[in-house]
A and B are shown apart, each in its own frame.
Chain A
Amino acid sequence: MDALITQLQRQFRDYTISLYQQGFLDDQFTELKKLQDDGSPDFVAEVLTLFFEDCVKLISNMARALDQTTGNVDYSKVGASVHQLKGSSSSVGAKRVKALCVSFKDYCDTQNFEGCVRCLQQVDIEYKTLKTKLQDLFNLEKQIIQAGGRVPQVDIN
């Protein structure tokens, strides 16, 4: 059992580090983990769940606002949703999503339709990718605990 725990812990550590190195997560995610403890063991998962729900809602708003069939595109509406997504991605440490929002906001400000549509597609892919990766990470945590081990603190630096 111990060998299994050790192996799982190493996998967890490596996977976590790779997420940071590949730019999926930043320091803010580390801050979130600091706020989790035995009293609130699901805090990070709960916040991330809220974030992904936010993504669905906001991206749907953006898509609707970019729909040309209903008339002229209201770029301020698109921009407002992008601003909100930028805010929440920043709060959870979703680095790539946040970076995309910065570019997206620029395209809104310059009323660049193609740029906006491209960003919309990318941000959709990006949040879904992050969601899958974090689910894998949380699953690893679960496996470690089920095997009787503790989830290691990972030092990114």
Chain B
Amino acid sequence: MAEVLRPEMLDISSNDNTSSLASSTELLHVLAVDDSMVDRKFIERLLRVSSCKVTVVDSATRALQYLGLDGENSSVGFEDLKINLIMTDYSMPGMTGYELLKKIKESSAFREIPVVIMSSENILPRIDRCLEEGAEDFLLKPVKLADVKRLRDSLMKAEERAFKNMMHKRDLEANDLYSQLKRAKI
């Protein structure tokens, strides 16, 4: 009887978050934003070669539409989209990458998603401004394979850490429950 109550045997109800690392071993899903057709083709390939799932859009407005942040849609379930990283060009007509960054950081649903800014210009005040606004990183174009690999590795590490913390928490909860049941002498 007591056997059944060992922590490993208790099925603590699964949490949406478990799917993130466990099932999708491959794939960081990256949303790439760039108004240049050449650069879109290039970044898409860079990301695919780096084992990422890629969605590419040609403007910040379209990016917001995709995320459901444009006010037209109340959000398409965030869990369905599961974007792990947004990479955006800085200089784009209409809304710039910087403005897109701000909108994402203002959104409660998406502010946790790392946003990387790409630019062909090495302008220090621009870089500072982006980092202050919460950009994860600032990459000089043309982006290199090594840059993407570095990004992906650090994001995977962060996800792994979050996953481990969550598992640790579940262990603690399971142990706690086990102790309670044991005390109640079920």
Name A's B-contacting residues (CB within 8 A).
28, 31-32, 34-35, 40, 43, 46-47, 50-51, 53-54, 83-84, 86-88, 90-92
Contact = CB atoms under 8 A, between A and B. Distances in A.
Contacts of B37: 50, 53-54, 88
B45 A88 contact: no
B41 A46 contact: yes
Nearest to B46: A35
Interface string B124-155: 00000000000000000110110000000000
A54 B38 contact: yes
B78 interface: no
A94 to B, nearest CB: 10
Interface of B: 36-39, 41-42, 45-46, 49, 91, 120, 141-142, 144-145
Nearest to A86: B120
Contact of B142 (A46, A51, A83, A90): A90
Contacts of A40: 45
A50 B145 CA distance: 20
A31 B144 contact: yes
Nearest to B146: A31
A88 B36 contact: yes
B140 to A, nearest CB: 10
A86 B144 CA distance: 17
Nearest to A55: B38
A35 B142 CA distance: 14
28 contacts: A31-B144, A31-B145, A34-B145, A35-B45, A35-B46, A35-B145, A40-B45, A43-B45, A46-B41, A47-B41, A47-B45, A50-B38, A51-B38, A53-B37, A83-B91, A84-B36, A86-B120, A87-B36, A87-B38, A87-B120, A87-B141, A88-B36, A90-B141, A90-B142, A91-B36, A91-B38, A92-B38, A92-B42
Given A35-B46, A83-B91, A87-B36, A28 B41 contact: no
Nearest to A92: B38
Given A54-B37, A84-B36, A90-B120, A47 B42 contact: yes
B38 A88 contact: yes
Contact of A91 (B49, B91, B141, B145): B141
Contacts of B41: 46-47, 50
A53 B38 CA distance: 10
A46 to B, nearest CB: 7
Contacts of B144: 31
Question: Closest 9 interchain pairs by CB?
Answer: A88-B38, A91-B142, A35-B45, A87-B120, A50-B38, A51-B38, A50-B37, A28-B142, A47-B41
